Protein backbone atom coordinates (compact mmCIF):
# COMPACT_ATOMS: atom_id res chain seq x y z
CA UNK A 1 0.00 0.00 0.00
CA UNK A 2 1.37 3.40 -0.90
CA UNK A 3 0.79 6.77 0.71
CA UNK A 4 -1.71 7.67 -2.01
CA UNK A 5 -3.78 4.55 -1.18
CA UNK A 6 -4.88 6.05 2.18
CA UNK A 7 -7.03 9.01 1.22
CA UNK A 8 -7.15 12.19 3.27
CA UNK A 9 -10.73 12.75 2.06
CA UNK A 10 -12.34 9.32 2.53
CA UNK A 11 -14.84 8.81 5.34
CA UNK A 12 -13.61 7.05 8.48
CA UNK A 13 -15.14 3.90 9.93
CA UNK A 14 -15.29 3.38 13.70
CA UNK A 15 -15.90 -0.17 14.88
CA UNK A 16 -16.35 -1.37 18.47
CA UNK A 17 -17.98 -4.00 20.63
CA UNK A 18 -20.04 -3.57 23.79
CA UNK A 19 -19.97 -6.56 26.14
CA UNK A 20 -23.17 -7.29 28.05
CA UNK A 21 -23.03 -10.13 30.61
CA UNK A 22 -26.66 -11.02 30.14
CA UNK A 23 -27.03 -10.80 26.35
CA UNK A 24 -23.54 -11.16 24.89
CA UNK A 25 -21.60 -8.95 22.48
CA UNK A 26 -23.14 -6.06 20.54
CA UNK A 27 -21.12 -4.63 17.66
CA UNK A 28 -21.43 -1.08 16.36
CA UNK A 29 -20.09 0.58 13.22
CA UNK A 30 -20.21 4.34 12.70
CA UNK A 31 -19.02 6.01 9.49
CA UNK A 32 -18.08 9.68 9.82
CA UNK A 33 -17.12 12.23 7.22
CA UNK A 34 -13.92 14.20 7.87
CA UNK A 35 -15.94 16.90 9.66
CA UNK A 36 -17.03 14.30 12.24
CA UNK A 37 -20.64 14.06 11.02
CA UNK A 38 -22.31 10.64 10.77
CA UNK A 39 -22.93 9.16 7.34
CA UNK A 40 -24.26 5.79 8.53
CA UNK A 41 -24.58 3.58 11.60
CA UNK A 42 -25.11 -0.16 11.99
CA UNK A 43 -25.27 -2.42 15.02
CA UNK A 44 -25.63 -6.16 15.52
CA UNK A 45 -28.02 -8.30 17.45
CA UNK A 46 -26.25 -9.87 20.43
CA UNK A 47 -23.60 -12.47 19.61
CA UNK A 48 -22.70 -15.13 22.15
CA UNK A 49 -20.37 -18.10 21.82
CA UNK A 50 -21.74 -21.47 22.80
CA UNK A 51 -19.76 -23.81 25.05
CA UNK A 52 -18.48 -25.91 22.13
CA UNK A 53 -17.09 -22.75 20.45
CA UNK A 54 -15.43 -21.69 23.70
CA UNK A 55 -13.67 -25.05 23.89
CA UNK A 56 -12.76 -25.46 20.22
CA UNK A 57 -11.67 -21.88 19.47
CA UNK A 58 -9.68 -21.48 22.71
CA UNK A 59 -7.58 -18.27 22.64
CA UNK A 60 -8.73 -17.48 19.09
CA UNK A 61 -12.38 -17.10 20.16
CA UNK A 62 -12.35 -13.33 20.79
CA UNK A 63 -10.65 -12.44 17.46
CA UNK A 64 -13.12 -14.77 15.71
CA UNK A 65 -16.20 -13.25 17.40
CA UNK A 66 -15.02 -9.65 17.14
CA UNK A 67 -13.34 -9.67 13.74
CA UNK A 68 -15.18 -12.28 11.71
CA UNK A 69 -18.62 -12.58 13.26
CA UNK A 70 -19.20 -8.95 14.26
CA UNK A 71 -16.73 -6.71 12.41
CA UNK A 72 -16.93 -8.39 9.03
CA UNK A 73 -20.75 -8.46 9.18
CA UNK A 74 -20.95 -4.76 10.04
CA UNK A 75 -18.45 -3.70 7.38
CA UNK A 76 -20.33 -5.67 4.72
CA UNK A 77 -23.48 -3.72 5.64
CA UNK A 78 -21.71 -0.40 5.10
CA UNK A 79 -22.67 1.61 2.05
CA UNK A 80 -19.83 4.17 2.24
CA UNK A 81 -16.29 3.11 1.44
CA UNK A 82 -13.82 4.18 4.10
CA UNK A 83 -10.15 5.04 3.87
CA UNK A 84 -9.49 3.27 7.16
CA UNK A 85 -11.28 1.60 10.04
CA UNK A 86 -10.52 2.58 13.62
CA UNK A 87 -11.29 0.39 16.62
CA UNK A 88 -10.75 0.49 20.36
CA UNK A 89 -10.86 -3.33 20.72
CA UNK A 90 -7.63 -5.21 20.05
CA UNK A 91 -9.43 -8.44 18.98
CA UNK A 92 -11.22 -6.39 16.29
CA UNK A 93 -7.89 -5.98 14.46
CA UNK A 94 -8.51 -9.45 13.01
CA UNK A 95 -11.16 -7.89 10.73
CA UNK A 96 -8.19 -6.69 8.68
CA UNK A 97 -8.04 -10.15 7.12
CA UNK A 98 -11.30 -9.40 5.28
CA UNK A 99 -10.82 -5.82 4.08
CA UNK A 100 -8.21 -3.85 2.15
CA UNK A 101 -8.43 -0.68 4.28
CA UNK A 102 -6.01 -0.43 7.20
CA UNK A 103 -7.45 -1.20 10.65
CA UNK A 104 -6.06 1.04 13.41
CA UNK A 105 -6.28 0.50 17.15
CA UNK A 106 -6.96 3.74 19.06
CA UNK A 107 -5.80 4.07 22.66
CA UNK A 108 -3.11 5.47 24.91
CA UNK A 109 0.01 4.04 26.55
CA UNK A 110 1.98 1.16 24.99
CA UNK A 111 1.21 -2.60 24.82
CA UNK A 112 -1.80 -4.88 25.29
CA UNK A 113 -5.22 -3.30 25.67
CA UNK A 114 -6.93 -3.36 29.07
CA UNK A 115 -9.61 -1.22 30.72
CA UNK A 116 -8.38 1.71 32.79
CA UNK A 117 -9.13 1.46 36.52
CA UNK A 118 -10.58 4.96 36.65
CA UNK A 119 -12.74 4.52 33.56
CA UNK A 120 -13.51 0.92 32.54
CA UNK A 121 -14.67 2.00 29.08
CA UNK A 122 -11.40 3.84 28.38
CA UNK A 123 -8.68 1.60 26.99
CA UNK A 124 -5.00 1.85 27.89
CA UNK A 125 -2.11 -0.17 26.51
CA UNK A 126 0.48 -1.84 28.65
CA UNK A 127 3.58 -3.86 27.87
CA UNK A 128 4.36 -6.86 30.05
CA UNK A 129 8.15 -7.23 29.77
CA UNK A 130 8.04 -10.50 31.72
CA UNK A 131 6.47 -12.25 28.75
CA UNK A 132 9.56 -11.64 26.65
CA UNK A 133 7.66 -11.83 23.38
CA UNK A 134 7.65 -9.28 20.62
CA UNK A 135 4.51 -7.13 20.72
CA UNK A 136 1.91 -8.05 18.10
CA UNK A 137 1.28 -4.36 17.50
CA UNK A 138 3.26 -1.59 15.84
CA UNK A 139 2.71 1.58 17.91
CA UNK A 140 2.83 5.17 16.71
CA UNK A 141 1.45 8.54 17.70
CA UNK A 142 -0.49 11.16 15.75
CA UNK A 143 -1.21 14.58 17.27
CA UNK A 144 -0.78 13.18 20.78
CA UNK A 145 -3.13 10.24 20.18
CA UNK A 146 -1.67 6.77 20.57
CA UNK A 147 -2.42 4.38 17.67
CA UNK A 148 -1.36 0.90 16.61
CA UNK A 149 -1.42 -1.33 13.55
CA UNK A 150 -0.90 -5.07 13.54
CA UNK A 151 2.79 -5.95 13.37
CA UNK A 152 2.38 -7.41 9.85
CA UNK A 153 1.52 -3.96 8.46
CA UNK A 154 4.50 -2.16 6.95
CA UNK A 155 6.09 1.15 7.89
CA UNK A 156 4.93 2.71 4.62
CA UNK A 157 1.31 1.99 5.51
CA UNK A 158 1.83 3.36 9.03
CA UNK A 159 3.24 6.57 7.55
CA UNK A 160 0.30 6.88 5.14
CA UNK A 161 -2.18 6.41 7.99
CA UNK A 162 -0.34 8.94 10.15
CA UNK A 163 -0.29 11.50 7.34
CA UNK A 164 -3.99 11.02 6.65
CA UNK A 165 -4.95 11.38 10.32
CA UNK A 166 -2.56 14.21 11.21
CA UNK A 167 -4.85 17.16 10.43
CA UNK A 168 -7.97 15.32 11.52
CA UNK A 169 -6.60 14.23 14.91
CA UNK A 170 -5.92 17.82 15.96
CA UNK A 171 -9.63 18.68 15.62
CA UNK A 172 -11.26 15.31 16.45
CA UNK A 173 -10.59 13.10 19.44
CA UNK A 174 -10.31 9.72 17.75
CA UNK A 175 -11.68 8.01 20.90
CA UNK A 176 -14.89 10.07 21.01
CA UNK A 177 -16.82 8.31 18.20
CA UNK A 178 -16.66 5.06 20.20
CA UNK A 179 -18.67 6.75 22.95
CA UNK A 180 -21.30 7.69 20.34
CA UNK A 181 -21.47 4.06 19.24
CA UNK A 182 -21.87 2.81 22.82
CA UNK A 183 -24.64 5.33 23.49
CA UNK A 184 -26.44 4.38 20.25
CA UNK A 185 -26.21 0.67 21.10
CA UNK A 186 -27.57 1.34 24.59
CA UNK A 187 -30.44 3.32 23.06
CA UNK A 188 -31.18 0.53 20.56
CA UNK A 189 -31.11 -2.08 23.36
CA UNK A 190 -33.54 -0.04 25.49
CA UNK A 191 -35.85 0.46 22.51
CA UNK A 192 -35.94 -3.28 21.90
CA UNK A 193 -37.00 -4.13 25.46
* Whether 13 contacts 40, CB under 8 Å: no
In DSSP terms, which residues pair with 139 in a beta bridge?
148
* Burial tier of 66 (Cβ tally within 10 Å: 0-12, 13-18, 19+): buried
What are the respective helix, strand and coil percentages of the chain, to the nearest 5? 40, 30, 35
Report whether 46 contacts 25 (CB < 8 A): yes
**What H or E segment, with its residue span, contains residue 154?**
none
> 73: helix, coil or strand?
helix
Strands across the sheet containing 84-87: 38-43, 24-32, 12-20, 84-87, 103-107, 145-150, 137-142
The answer to whether 26 and 46 are in contact (CB under 8 A) is: yes
Residue 150 CA to residue 139 CA, distance in Å, equals: 9
pTM: 0.81
Look at residue 93 in the predicted model and tell me its pLDDT: 94
12-20 vs 103-107, strand pairing mode: unpaired
Q: Other CB atoms closer than 10 Å to residue 55's CB: what's the count?
A: 10
Distance separating the N- and C-terminal Cα atoms of the chain: 45
**Per-residue confidence of the chain (193 residues) as pLDDT tens digits?**
333 345 567 899 999 999 998 899 999 999 999 888 999 999 999 999 999 999 999 999 999 999 999 999 999 999 998 989 999 999 999 999 999 889 999 985 433 344 433 334 444 444 433 344 455 888 888 888 889 988 776 677 788 888 888 878 777 889 999 999 999 999 988 876 5
Sign of CA dihedral 141, 142, 148, 154: negative
Q: What pLDDT is recorded for position 132?
A: 41
Amino acid sequence: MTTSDVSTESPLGFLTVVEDRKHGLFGGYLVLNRAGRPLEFHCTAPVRANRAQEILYGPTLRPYLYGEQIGRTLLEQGKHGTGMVLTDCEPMLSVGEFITSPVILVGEGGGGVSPSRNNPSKKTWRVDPAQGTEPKLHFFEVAGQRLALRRNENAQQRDAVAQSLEALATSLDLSEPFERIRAAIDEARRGGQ
